[in-house]
Amino acid sequence: MGILIKGGRVIDPDTKLDEVTDVYIEDGQIQKVGKMKQGEADQVLDAKGCYVMPGLIDLHVHFRDPGQEEKEDIASGGKAAAKGGFTTVLAMPNTHPVIDTASRVNYVHHKAEEVSPIHVLQAGAITKGQKGTELADIEEMIQAGIPAISEDGKSVMNSQLYLDAMLIAKKHNIPVMAHCEDQMLVGSGCINDDEKAAELGLPGISSMVENIIVARDIFLAQDAGVHLHLCHCSTKQSVHMLQMIKETGCSVTGEVCPHHFTLCSEDIPGDNPNFKMNPPLRRQEDKEALRKALKEDVVDVISTDHAPHTLKEKEGSMKNAPFGVVGLETCVPLVITELVDKGILTPMQMAEKMSWNPAQILHLDKGSLREGKAADITIIDPDVEYMIDARTFVSKGKNTPFNGRKVKGRVTATICDGQIVYQAGQMENDL
């Protein structure tokens, strides 16, 4: 019952292999990396001209399950992830109710096993109900299998409480994933505080809103000795701080999302909620700093912050719409078009930032194409050109600023635990 992935450019950050060869999988595992004869497999996937990478891992998604399944649920989110080339995702806990107990963690993990084609891991909230006043039972959630804690959607503004949570995470060797936003400073802002906000007459969000909390969280994490992962870095100062603190040997990593390395506030065409996300699109100079930080490996991870909302919520003015854009089905083409094709990232760096590094941060035995590892594999054709069409998304969310954008590169197949969970052209609405 083996599958032979034939003649692709096999890129493995673990063994540092970057070579045109074959990968043979059977019994859910990678059996062999190297030239094989066609006859030895039951199924052959022709990967000529394609990248063959370890299954992509998205450290940052919102699946809205439980409570807001009209936006997304674990089944639709899992399918969208598979189509996007992801074999593992980490779901953020700002659901309704918030994932702040072991039984709610179990709900997500069990449902994912039943309905999701790919692995869905759940991050635990830091405070009860994300109210910022009392710690959630973090140890109980760790026993239930959370690989990280996060208060994503907001910051824990009480530094003492946050420090207490960090010490628990440190004790159990799991990372703290930080959404950095000063709750008081952000006010009712909805886009970056610059000329665009003035032009559109919209309240702004300054870079300080993010920068101040990045600095605080670094100091707190250093004191606790815990691994800090900075979510969705959007400002030049955030990545400068990341670089500085890395140079001191501190255990900190950072991620950047495709919307932040592709767009800036100048690209906002008007009062359009599909361009509203948190943190917001910043200035051109911030975007350039993020790209440079990706290139120089200051930024370790590319994540999507996949944040589906209903069409109705994303109508009208940015003033009232919720923050967030979908990202699972546009990430690979944006990385290829904006970073790989422009010589900012090598395909190997792409595999590091989208698979190997995320696996290391969560201490997962993934992100590798070594023989004997679970067969989580993504096959990508980097040359095919097309236009992004939100109507083809399998995510329930269609809220993207990239609709109609010309891109290059697409996922041709996603394999999870040895099973083909996505194959281009074989899904409803597919291109």
Catalytic residues: 305
Instruction: Find the binder of ligand DOR among 6, 111, 179, 410 (CB under 6 A).
Output: 179
> Which span (3-11, 38-46, 121-129, 318-326) binds ligand DOR, by CB under 6 A?
318-326
Instruction: Find the binder of ligand DOR among 153, 358, 367, 401 (CB under 6 A).
Output: 153
Nearest to 368 by CA among 360, 357, 356, 380: 356
CB nearer ligand DOR, residue 323 or residue 386 = 323
> Does position 154 bind Zn ion by CB under 5 A?
no
Burial code (b: 16+ CB inside 10 Å, e: under 16) for 115-127 equals bbbbbbbbbbbbb
Instruction: Find the binder of ligand DOR among 52, 89, 277, 416 (CB under 6 A).
Output: 277
**How many residues belong to the chain?**
431
Residue 49 burial by CB count (10 A; 0-12/13-18/19+): exposed, middle or buried? middle
CB nearer ligand DOR, residue 49 or residue 189 = 189
Residues 68-97, mask of contacts with ligand DOR (x by CB under 6 A): --------------------------x---
Q: Which residues contact 419 (CB under 8 A, 6 or more apart)?
A: 28, 117
> What does each C-alpha distance from 203 to 171, 191, 267, 279 come to in angstroms?
41, 7, 17, 14
Q: Which residues contact 95 (CB under 8 A, 6 or more apart)?
A: 63, 64, 65, 66, 67, 68
DSSP three-state, residue 332: helix
> Does position 238 bind ligand DOR by CB under 6 A?
no
> Which span (73-81, 291-299, 321-329, 385-393) binds ligand DOR, by CB under 6 A?
321-329
DSSP three-state, residue 111: helix
Report the distance separating Cα 225 and Cα 223, nearest Å.
6
* Minimum gap (Å) between residue 107 Cβ and ligand DOR: 18
CB nearer ligand DOR, residue 232 or residue 373 = 232
CB nearer Zn ion, residue 227 or residue 373 = 227
Which residue number has the CB closest to ligand DOR?
324
CB nearer ligand DOR, residue 232 or residue 353 = 232
From the list ligand DOR, Zn ion, none, partner contacted by residue 135 (C-beta under 5 to 8 A by kind): none
* Minimum gap (Å) between residue 150 Cβ and ligand DOR: 10
And the tokens for 201?
């007459």
Report the distance separating Cα 140 and Cα 143, nearest Å.
5
CB nearer ligand DOR, residue 104 or residue 410 = 104
Asked if 241 contacts 298 with a C-beta cutoff of 8 angstroms, the reply is no
> Which span (115-123, 233-241, 317-325, 417-425) binds ligand DOR, by CB under 6 A?
317-325
Q: Which residues contact 420 (CB under 8 A, 6 or more apart)?
A: 3, 45, 413, 414
Report the distance separating Cα 416 and Cα 85, nearest Å.
10
Please count the residues of this chain forming the interface with ligand DOR, following the rule CB under 6 A: 11
From the list Zn ion, ligand DOR, none, partner contacted by residue 258 (C-beta under 5 to 8 A by kind): none
Residues 289-308, mask of contacts with Zn ion (x by CB under 5 A): ----------------x---
Instruction: Find the binder of ligand DOR among 62, 83, 111, 227 (CB under 6 A).
Output: 62
Neighbours of 173 (CB within 10 A): 10
And the tokens for 6?
């034939």
CB nearer ligand DOR, residue 61 or residue 340 = 61
From the list ligand DOR, Zn ion, none, partner contacted by residue 323 (C-beta under 5 to 8 A by kind): ligand DOR
What are the residue ranges of helices labelled H in 41-137? 74-83, 102-115
Site for ligand DOR in 322-341 (CB under 6 A): 322-324
* Site residues, ligand DOR (CB under 6 A): 62, 94, 153, 179, 277-278, 305, 307, 322-324
* Site residues, Zn ion (CB under 5 A): 152, 179, 305
